[in-house]
Chains A and B, each alone.
With several copies, the nearest count.
Chain A
Amino acid sequence: MQSEIVISGFGGQGALFAGQLLAYTALDAGLHTTWFPSYGPEMRGGTAHCTTIVSDAPIGSPVVRHPRAAVVMNLPSLERYEPLVKAGGVLVVNSSIVERHVQRTDLQVLRVPGDDVAQELGDGKVTNLVLVGALLTRLPVLELEQVKRTLEHVIPERRRNLLAMNLQALERGAALADPLAAAV
């Protein structure tokens, strides 16, 4: 079984790191994984996105047109990925700044107020992890606890002091996910 997760947002919203975290977790869990960034000048200011693939078999393509899940942290990302997620797949939306609702009805949509939760936790920079926490509830391949364990050792040195907050972000996202999903 192979799961493809796209994470997409403004540069600076931490999409790339969130994707890497999933890949690191997959590695720790003994799974196959790839992380594929979009890179280049668009990273500066524009949109940043990446694809993480997690699988129990060797991975061919590190990109796919139709991912199983997408975490969209801003409106342009929603515009881009809503049409692409596989039917039945997961779409996590940062509802704090994305007002528009999802049109498709064949997806599991999680609208999570990522920025608000992050502000609450005291750091705008953990929106990505809030959303990932939510995602994990719908993505059976990686377990929240494993992600947390992995985070502990891959968190960049300069953010180590924020580890607790980062872990909370994951948890809050996960906690929010269930009722939200029901509300879709």
Chain B
Amino acid sequence: MKGTVTVDEALCKGCGLCTGVCPKGLLALSTRFSTRGYHPVELVDPDDLCTGCELCSVICPEAAFTVFRERAAA
């Protein structure tokens, strides 16, 4: 299955919890500072590996993720 995620940078606090749960290892903290002074997480997925499995969104304490998934054949 194919998917992707977006992270709301206004919410992300760079806690890194999502980076630990992504089965594909697609999430990494950036070195940038967000406006609130955190290093926000970024999706690094050049090969479109994200499955939209939602794990990142389940563990995120800030509800920062929107997860997208391929619509099942319909």
Contact = CB atoms under 8 A, between A and B. Distances in A.
Interface in A135-184: none
A45 interface: yes
Interface residues of B, number: 2
A44 to B, nearest CB: 11
A75 B36 CA distance: 12
A24 interface: no
Interface string B30-50: 000000110000000000000
Nearest to B33: A97
Interface string A97-140: 00000000000000000000000000000000000000000000
A10 interface: yes
Contacts of A45: 36-37
B34 to A, nearest CB: 12
A180 B6 CA distance: 44
Contacts of A10: 37
Interface residues of A, number: 2
Contacts of B36: 45
B16 to A, nearest CB: 16
Interface string A1-28: 0000000001000000000000000000
A98 to B, nearest CB: 13
A118 to B, nearest CB: 16
B11 to A, nearest CB: 14
Nearest to A10: B37
Contacts of B37: 10, 45
Nearest to B13: A45
Nearest to A97: B33
A45 B37 CA distance: 8
A19 B19 CA distance: 38
Nearest to A74: B37
Interface in B1-45: 36-37
Nearest to A11: B37
B14 to A, nearest CB: 12
A105 B53 CA distance: 57
Interface of B: 36-37
Interface of A: 10, 45
